[in-house]
Chain A
Amino acid sequence: DADVTQTPRNRITKTGKRIMLECSQTKGHDRMYWYRQDPGLGLRLIYYSFDVKDINKGEISDGYSVSRQAQAKFSLSLESAIPNQTALYFCAIGAGETQYFGPGTRLLVL
């Protein structure tokens, strides 16, 4: 959905490096989510936020942190990247009973 943008779209990094994935939305929704997609595992929730002061862990938050800098921005950080964090990362916004996803960030950790 064009209302949710993610940067970068692709990233290659090395083990131990710190990286940040960014997500922005234009619709002013309070709820934002970060998911990770691995082949054969579907999407799994990493973190979610209901407003600027609200941060909640999902099912696989270890090794990740997030920052909700503003209502429109929700960033995901890998403090020290490891190869098993190689995956496709999606940001989503919650609108009513639905969630709309960004285009994804493809991350490779060497």
Chain B
Amino acid sequence: GEDVEQSLFLSVREGDSSVINCTYTDSSSTYLYWYKQEPGAGLQLLTYIFSNMDMKQDQRLTVLLNKKDKHLSLRIADTQTGDSAIYFCAETGGGATNKLIFGTGTLLAVQP
């Protein structure tokens, strides 16, 4: 079945770059997403990428997609303490349901 995997934790120092990685199994994924969840809050859509793209950049965020290896990454440049959160990777296959399959989330801890 469809599966999305992420490492559980990542710790970086303030000002460094963070790279959060995700692998998925569904080769028919149409879109891939990154959501951010701050403590006690809901999920905030950060960015998403269409499966025929390799890269998408949005201010400090860079998404890289290697479709051959089914690998997605989120790079956060100049990481700030406010970036501390859980980051979820998600994918959706084709078809009308658009249901999302989520990874377990990566907790990003930014050390001052």
* Interface residue ranges, A against B (CB under 8 Å): 1, 31, 33, 35, 40-45, 48, 50, 56, 58, 90, 92, 94, 97-104
For A45, give its contact among B42, B99, B104, B105 (CB under 8 Å).
B99
Instruction: Report if A97-B45 is in contact (Cβ < 8 Å); known contacts: A41-B104, A42-B102.
Output: no
A-B contact count (CB 8 A): 56
> Mostly helix, strand, loop or mixed at chain A's interface?
strand
For A1, give its contact among B42, B96, B100, B102 (CB under 8 Å).
B42
Instruction: Report if A42-B42 is in contact (Cβ < 8 Å); known contacts: A31-B98, A48-B97.
Output: no
Per the bound structure, the CA–CA distance linking A7 and B41 in Å amounts to 14
- Residues in A whose Cβ lies below 8 Å from that of B50: 97
Per the bound structure, the CA–CA distance linking A35 and B99 in Å amounts to 10
Per the bound structure, the CA–CA distance linking A48 and B90 in Å amounts to 17
- For B4, B31, B103, B105, the residue with the greatest tally of chain A CB atoms inside 10 Å of its CB is B105
Per the bound structure, the CA–CA distance linking A51 and B79 in Å amounts to 41
How distant is A39 from chain B, measured CB to nearest CB, in Å? Answer: 9
For the complex of A and B, the 5 pairs showing the least CB-CB separation, nearest first, are: A42-B102, A101-B43, A103-B42, A43-B102, A42-B104
